[in-house]
Structures are given as structure tokens and as C-alpha cells.
Amino acid sequence: MSHPDRLVELMRPGTLSLPALPPLSLYVHLPWCLRKCPYCDFNSHEWRSDAGGASLPVDTARAYLAALRADLEAALPLIWGRPVVSIFIGGGTPSLFAPEQIAELISDIRARLPLEAGCEITLEANPGTFEKDRFRGFREAGVTRLSIGVQSFDDAKLKRLGRVHDGAQSRAAVAEAAEVFETFNIDLMYALPDQTLGELDQDLSQALAFRPPHLSVYHLTIEPNTRFAVEPPPVPDADLASDMLDLITARTGAMGLERYEVSAYARAGHRCTHNLNYWQFGDYLGIGAGAHSKLSFPHRVLRQVRWREPAAYQREALAGRAVSNEHEVKRAELPFEFMLNALRLKDGVALQQYLERTGLPPSSIARAMAQGREKGLLRADPARIAATERGFDFLSDLQELFLAA
């Protein structure tokens, strides 16, 4: 189907009625990393280089950037004229790309999309690809926010996690980011193999010593199709993991970092715009190998997935066929899809936002909302959809109420 015909089809009348389109973000997937971690189930692919080093070969990067350009250009009719509020360059390990290649990528995007003034541009970086002044190069390329995959500062724990960096590299990378960027994020993991509360406390002390504007803290989970799924390590039990989360919340709060989402803590003015747009059921165009998109139209919500394997993605993108599959979100699925995101936010969202972003009436969730309030999982505020403290602790149970809303 040609692009004009596809757009006509997407604009036809349907069962939903969205009064306005939500904000639009752009996600760019750069799929390579130095080593696949045993807990990782992301679409990432090991880059094996005999020469070593922390950069992809120029030819590899150039070919992938050409595929991204073709992918973006083919997608433009679906988002024509819509300004972009944030860009997130994720992976894999995007910092395997040299600063001049990231500059080319951002320039390619700017030439094709209208970016809102002050558009947040985040790049994921790993300490294992850190070189002195490399982060400064990313800043000069147009990146405004760095997200550093530290995971731990403990050498033994990093080794158990299969990370390519050590604690000294973690500290050097964060110190450089703090010097170069006004806002940056540290990624930490907890409930690590054999981790004690004291060891987590030490990790937190190291992270908080850098006074990060934003901290993301994730519970290690054993995902299917990972090395840890085949050989599970001994991890803290549920009670200890709960104590660890209490410690994280107490220590971050004491340092002026507010927990605004299940895994995210930030100082005032440093919340992640890109992730907030996801959680508030905004739109996002995803380009790159395996990237996902969620795009709204006046009468429907469309989800897309790109080809997952990098070589197949590059071949298909250059032929104008980057999307491997797509589907319209069914009306009955929208309440759960919305709540899967919005209820992760500590303050939830306004009921009005649910109406605007799903195109559904209040009656579509009235039963589930009543059940949530009866169980003490949802706040009583009729104008707001937000979990209580108990609901935040039993988030999956609360979200499941909306499966058959």
C-alpha cells in the first residue's frame, strides 16, 4: 500500500474519538553492545572486534545511519507537522557510536522533524565505552541529557552481572557526566546476586555523592531467554528486596530526590521528559532495529514494530519496509494499556487525560475504578487516577483490574 493510501486508511472513521493528539517523542535504537549481559532481554547484539576499542567501525555506523534516515523518511507521513518533545537514543550501547556519528544522527533528525524549543535529547552511555572527553563530544553533538548504565559501583557485583566495566570506570564516567551535563541520570540495580543491605547502602552512597539530578533504580529480574534464566543466581528474597526499596526511597529523599515513578527519583526540574511522555500515554515513533512505535490518529491508536535483527532491519529500511508488523489497539485493550503506564506515576494522571488519550468515555473504566477504591488501591479523588501507597506497593494487582474494564 502506498503512503498516501495508508494515511487515508488511518484517518477513516472508527470506534474511538480522540479530541486532540498527545505529545510526540522519538526513540532511536542503536542495537550493538560490547557484551550481552546475562540478565538482558533487550534487542541488543554483541559487537565482536578483534581490535578492541569502544567504537564501531566507521562503515558499520555509516550504513546503520543511512538505514535510520530511510526509516524516518518513510514514517514522516504518519506524523506530518507534529513537533517532537523529546528524543531518546537507546540500545544496546549507543555510546559505541562516536560523537561525530551521534552529531550526524541528530542533524539528520533535525532536518526532517520539527523539534520543540528545549527538546530533551537523551543518550544512553555505558562506563565500558567511556573515554576522557567522549561525553563532552556527545554534548557538543547536541545531546542534552546523559543516562549512564552504572548498575553498581562494586567490582564483584559488576562481574556477576557480566558488565564490561569496573567500579573505577563507573566513578570516572559519572564524574565526567556531572562536569559536562546540566542534567544526567545514573542507572542502578538492586537485589543483585548475594547482595546485602549494607552493600546496597554503599552503592547508594557512591551514587548520591555525585549529587545526580536523576536516579533510576531497578530491581534485578530474571527474564526468560537470558543466561540468568538458564542458570539463576542466588538473589535476595522478597522481604530483603522490600527492605532495599525502603532504603533507596529513604536515602534518595534525604538528598532531595523525589520518587515520581516506580523506578525513578529526581530533583525538581530534572524529571525525564521522554519517559514521562511514555507513562502519560503520549505518542512515540520508534526507529531502528526492533524499535516500537505508538501513534494516535483521530479515531484509532496504531502500534508498530521494526525488523529486529540489525542486518534484516538495514536491508528492509533501505527498501522502505522498516516496519515488520503493526496493529490497531483494540478498544477493549486501551484501558489496561493506559493504566499499565499511568499508574506507575506516583501522582497518577488526571481523568481528563485518560479521556483525551484513549478517546473513550468515563464509563469504560467506571467499574474498575470503583473496585480499585473499594480495595484501597486507588485514591478517592474523582478527577484523578492515582494509586494509594498500598496500590503503589501492589501495582500489578491494581493494573489487572483494568484488563476487563
pLDDT per residue as tens digits for the range 330-362: 999 999 999 999 999 999 999 999 999 999 999
Q: Are 119 and 82 in contact (CB under 8 A)?
A: no
Checking if the pLDDT of 380 tops 90, the result is yes
Mean pLDDT check: name the lowest of 92-101, 154-163, 173-182: 154-163
Greater pLDDT, 347 or 49: 347
| Cβ neighbours for 374, distance < 8 A, ≥ 6 positions apart | none
How much is the CA Rg of the chain, to the nearest whole Å? 21
Q: Per-residue pLDDT averaged across 92-109, rounded?
A: 94
Short-list 175, 44, 25, CA closest to 85: 25
With H, G, I as helix, E, B as strand and everything else as coil, classify residue 183: strand
With H, G, I as helix, E, B as strand and everything else as coil, classify residue 154: coil
Q: How far apart are the C-alpha atoms of 268 and 326, rounded to whole Å?
A: 38
Residue 274: predicted pLDDT:
98
Q: How far apart are the C-alpha atoms of 280 and 345, rounded to whole Å?
A: 8
Checking if the pLDDT of 299 tops 80, the result is yes
Residue 51: predicted pLDDT:
45
Q: How far apart are the C-alpha atoms of 126 and 177, rounded to whole Å?
A: 11
- pTM for this model (two decimals): 0.94
Short-list 73, 109, 75, CA closest to 6: 75
Percentage of the chain exceeding pLDDT 70: 92
Short-list 281, 273, 292, CA closest to 21: 281
pLDDT band at 39 (very low <50, low <70, confident <90, very high): low
Q: Are strands 323-328 and 300-306 parallel, antiparallel or unpaired?
A: antiparallel
Short-list 345, 29, 54, 210, CA closest to 353: 345
Q: Are 132 and 99 in contact (CB under 8 A)?
A: no
CA dihedral angle for residue 392, residue 398, residue 400, residue 402, rounded to 10 degrees: -120
Q: How far apart are the C-alpha atoms of 151 and 177, rounded to whole Å?
A: 16
Alpha-helix runs per DSSP H in 182-307? 197-209, 227-230, 238-254, 273-279
Q: Look up cell 500489578; give the residue.
A: 396
Q: Per-residue pLDDT averaged across 376-399, rounded?
A: 95
Checking if the pLDDT of 129 tops 70, the result is no
Question: Could you give phi then psi for residue 223, rounded to 5 degrees?
Answer: -95, 150
Q: Are 60 and 306 in contact (CB under 8 A)?
A: no
For 216-265, write each residue's pLDDT tens digit. Answer: 999 888 677 767 667 777 788 999 999 999 999 999 999 999 999 999 99
Q: Per-residue pLDDT averaged across 126-153, rounded?
A: 89
Q: How far apart are the C-alpha atoms of 150 and 96, rounded to whole Å?
A: 16
Most confident among 91-95, 117-121, 401-405 (mean pLDDT)? 117-121
Short-list 105, 62, 104, 77, CA closest to 8: 77
Checking if the pLDDT of 205 tops 90, the result is yes
- The DSSP element (H or E) to which 270 belongs, if any, is none
